[in-house]
Structure 1
Amino acid sequence: MRRCFKREEASILLQIYWQRHRQIHRLPCHSDAPQLARYYISRKELQNARHVFDKIPNPSVVLWNMMIRAYAWDGPFQQSIHLYNHMLQLGVTPTKFTFPFVLKACSALQALQLGRVIHNHAHVLGLSMDVYVSTALLDMYAKCGNLFEAYKLFNTMSYMDRDIVAWNAMIAAFSFHGLHVETMQLVAQMLQAGIAPNSSTLVSVLPTIGQANALRQGKAIHAHCVRKFFCDNVVLATALLDMYAKCHYLSYARKIFDNVNLKNEICWSAMIGGYVLHDSMADALALYDDMVCIYNLNPTPATLAIVLRACAQLTDLKKGKNLHCHMIKSGIQLDTTVGNSLISMYAKCGIMDGAMGFLDEMTSKDPVSYSAIISG
């Protein structure tokens, strides 16, 4: 009965909002417009939110921040930058909450030069050393590949300002760039500073442990996860199984995978990738079939690239063609990685015309695209 009432209330509320939307569409300004814009943002209906937002004569800085944040999280990221610039042109002063959002968009776009300009804006406003802003700047520099600036900024932060978010951002930066020794040294410094690692810290550290084949450290982190009851976290469990697979302990990886109650597509992809890494191609294809046929999950482009590699190694043309048809029917955008995997599959299965034909169709090619033809 309660569910029925809730559905009715939601339906009535939606009707009211649509009535207001139509009023705002007709009138140059409406007092309910900011509330309606917030409502659409909360529902991630950014097109409607932007339509309403653009009709508000003088949006509050809070509403500007909400719109910039929405685009920074869900894209298009360039719109976040455009709104920030428009905000400045109208004389609206950014706050310490504006900068983390627009810097996140810079990170997503790999827009290092733009990030530097925004860094200067924050400095002029006296906000560059705010803990939220400085952490966002650190993260932006790291994700844009400038580790020197990121670490320089980290070292200028006082120990009081170095919260878990700042430490995690710097640790993730070192780990992402494969700096295993530096990553572990930073973790040790964090512990010395009296800050305990959380699940995000461990997710950042585990990839570099796997790359360095540092199984002992990986097992220590796994034990810590068990003590802290972190293993129910699917993101952390995925990082653990990926680490064990890279450290050549595939049986451990499978045990973790089997114990995850709510597996997402990334978790499945990591386990399939583990099998491919160890040349267990038949097991990889069998697990992929379970994922799609039994659990009804949609494979990500990364998963498809991994499975295509297995098809190529087994010269399983039928499976490879089925995957190609699935991508076309599903309207999946084929990035360069998936495209290269398709070329390699066709080439290794002896279908050179198919490989060359697909190479010609690819809008974005790299040296791997051509080497896939040659190696086939």
Structure 2
Amino acid sequence: MHGLHRQGVLLVITRAAFPTIRYFFGGVTCRHQRDSYDYTHLLQHCRCIKSIKEVHAQILIGGYEQNQFLAAKLVGKYTEHSASNMEDARKVFDCLLDRDVFLWNMVIQGYANSGPFAESLNIYDEMWQSGIPANRYTFTFVLKACGAMKDGNKGRVIHGHVVKSGFDFDLFVGNALVAFYAKCQEIETSRRIFEELPQKDLVSWNSMISGYSVNGCAVEALMLFCAMLQDVSTPTPDRATLVGILPACVQAAAIQEGLRIHSYILKSGMEIDAALGSGLIAMYANCGRLKSAQVVFDQISDKNIVVWNAIIRCYGMHGNADEAFKLFSRLLELGLRPDGVIFLCLLSTCSHAGMVAKGWELFEKMGDYGVERNHEHYACMVDLLGRAGFLDQAVEFIKSMPVQAGKDVYGALLGACRVHNNIELAEEVAEKLIMLDPENAGRYIILAKMYDNAGRLEDVARMRKVLREKKIKKQHGCSSIEVDFVLHTFGVEDESHPSTEQIFNTLARLERVMEEE
């Protein structure tokens, strides 16, 4: 039994008395047929799917199934309590003869949040063809679904609708477009939209910084973050900003920026949760600061599998196999279930430490924990065998794989061929790699270096000719330095910096000084 107050009247509701409501007022009992207001209050107090369906049944019995307000409440309740119940929400929506934009948006959002994402696009198409004018929320929801599917073609169509509807300079829609293009790896388009926004809020900056980070543009992410800190008109970074920029610190091994972020977290009193903690651990790991990574790990109260992945990778990548396996044992003792990333970290650790038997043992155990092996795991096993000199076994392992070997697998084998100077096998592997990954200059260069070491100069020239004819260029490395919160990046023979002339003159003077010394 539930008690609700409505305009000074005690409303008593029993589960068995759905058709009517009994009012007790001045000792007199009055029976009253429920209206939409009453059903709304009942839905607000539903805490499980069963109770929602009970009220839904009474709404149908009462003849209120075409009430848009009640329908919106039902759709909201179904999507709130379980992603698997979008089917129930969809039934409510499909039964309506008249739907407003709010109802369309709720269903589009439900599918965009929980999937299937394609259904979100289907509902949007139906809405557009019905002539229902979309609003700013419609576009943010459907662009989120496009981003989740990485459907660039459909997203560009939606972008066209955005422009036609006059929402191209709307902040909410602009932020959704920035995030969408970043997810589709069209980072230059994402940045252009970001720059064109008439005003930017914290979500705008976070979306662009995160977009750069996930697309491997670490330098650009760090430069934008520095610009954000430097500009007094920009909002103060929040947790999402820091979670977005930390992967860039990891990629660039930017210890100074990482230390500043950690200091900012501590000074602001922000709790180091799993998302922030795993980012900090990865940053310290890539910069070789294992003790700092361990301190962060110990400070995290709620350690999820991502945090354990980060700390195990930290020790594994620096050759501390014993500590990595101790942590793995602790993880199992706590009852946590290892995932594919954990096993990848451990297999990589075994590969670098030459622990072939242990690697095989882990690989076999993956099935015991219900972890599916993917291309990365197979590539790691090939690397493990190849580094240890078991090239024949690596070849047999590839032949026995239940999936078609990809460029990662053959790339690991080619690397092993170079280490052990097996030119004959390297040529076979390189031929497969050039078919699978023809634009990767590294494959040609490895083979050219092996020919050079063997004194086969004609083959070296042949490899270089292929690179020239196919116009395949090796990606050059770069260096960066931060001065007064501005990150400056320099590549090989790079003349793009505004102070290029001064920089090269200084380098020339330094060279003369070194020669004199």
For Structure 1 versus Structure 2, the TM-score category normalised by the shorter chain is: 0.7 to 0.9
Instruction: Describe the shift of the 1:259–1:141 C-alpha distance in structure 2 as closer, same or farther (beyond 3 A).
Output: same
Rounded to whole Å, the distance in 2 between the matches of 1:265 and 1:173 is 24
**The one of 189, 196, 205 aligned to 2:227:** 189
Shift of 1:254: 0.9
Q: Which residue of the other structure, out of 216, 225, 241, is the alignment partner of 2:265?
A: 225
State the TM-score, normalized to the length of structure 2. 0.63
Counterpart secondary structure, 1:94: coil
Q: What root-mean-square deviation, in Å, do the aligned CA atoms of Structure 1 and Structure 2 show? A: 3.2
Q: Is the 8 A contact 1:230 1:236 kept in 2?
A: no
Q: Map 1:270-349 to 2 at 5 A.
A: 270-291=310-331, 293-312=332-351, 313-315=354-356, 316=358, 317-327=360-370, 332-341=371-380
- Report how many aligned residue pairs link the two structures: 361
Compared with structure 1, are the counterparts of its residues 348 and 19 closer, same or farther at alpha carbon in structure 2 (3 Å cutoff)?
farther
Amino acid of the structure 2 residue aligned with 1:302? V
Distance 1:255 1:302, change over 3 A: same
Corresponding residue of 1:254: 294
SS at 1:230 equivalent: coil
Superposition TM-score, scaled by structure 1 size: 0.84
User: CA offsets, 1:268-298, max 9 Å, x none?
Assistant: 111111122212223222212211x222222
Rg bigger for which structure? 2
Give the conservation status (yes or no) of the 8 Å contact 1:72–1:105: yes
Question: In the superposition, relative to structure 1, how do residues 51 and 59 fare at CA in structure 2: closer, same or farther (>3 Å)?
Answer: same
Whole-angstrom CA distance in 2 between matches of 1:28 and 1:355: 66
Structure with the largest fraction of helix: 1
Of 355, 358, 369, the residue aligned with 2:397 is 355
The answer to which structure has the higher strand fraction is 2
How many percent of aligned residue pairs carry the same amino acid?
Answer: 28
Partner of 1:98: 138
Say which is worse superposed, 182-191 or 12-21, in terms of deviation: 12-21
Does structure 2 conserve the Cα–Cα contact (< 8 Å) formed by 1:269 and 1:302? Answer: yes
Paired AA for residue 136 in structure 1: A
Tell me the CA shift for residue 356 of structure 1. 3.8
**Cα pair 1:28 1:55 within 8 Å, conserved:** no
Cα deviation, residue 340, structure 1? 3.8
Shift of 1:123: 0.7
Q: 1:14 to 1:76 in 2, by over 3 A?
A: closer
Whichever residue aligns with residue 258 of structure 1, its letter is D
Equivalence for 1:143 = 183
Task: Please give the alpha-carbon distance, in whole angstroms, between the structure 1 residues aligned to 2:337 and 2:148.
Answer: 24
Change (3 A) 1:26 1:259: same
Code of the residue aligned with 2:53 in structure 1: it is: W
Using the TM superposition, give the Cα deviation of residue 121 of structure 1 relative to its aligned residue in structure 2, in angstroms. 0.3
CA contact 1:34–1:59 (8 Å) conserved in 2: no
- What is the CA distance between 1:355 and its match in structure 2? 3.2
- Residues 277, 300 of structure 2: 8 Å contact kept: yes
Letter in 2 for 1:355: F
Aligned to 2:426: none
> In the TM superposition, what is the alpha-carbon distance from 1:346 to its structure 2 partner?
7.6
Among 58, 64, 74, the alignment partner of 2:98 is 58
Q: Shift of residue 184 of structure 1?
A: 2.8
Change (3 A) 1:300 1:91: farther
* 1:174 corresponds to 2:212: yes
1:50-79 deviations in Å (ceiling 9; x for gaps): 343333333332222222222222222222
Query: 1:305-361: CA deviations, max 9, x gaps?
Result: 22333345522122321123322xxxx5544334544665688897669834662x2
Contact 2:222 2:248 in 1 (8 A): no
* Alpha carbons of structure 1 residues 270 and 61: separation in structure 2 relative to 1, 3 Å: same
Q: Which runs of 5+ in 2 are unaligned?
A: 3-14, 16-41, 418-517
Unaligned runs of 5+ in 1: 3-7
Contact 1:183 1:205 in 2 (8 A): yes
Change (3 A) 1:358 1:283: farther
**Residues 171 and 187, structure 1, Cα contact 8 Å, conserved in 2:** yes
SS in 2 for 1:262: coil
The alpha-carbon deviation at position 119 of structure 1 amounts to 0.6
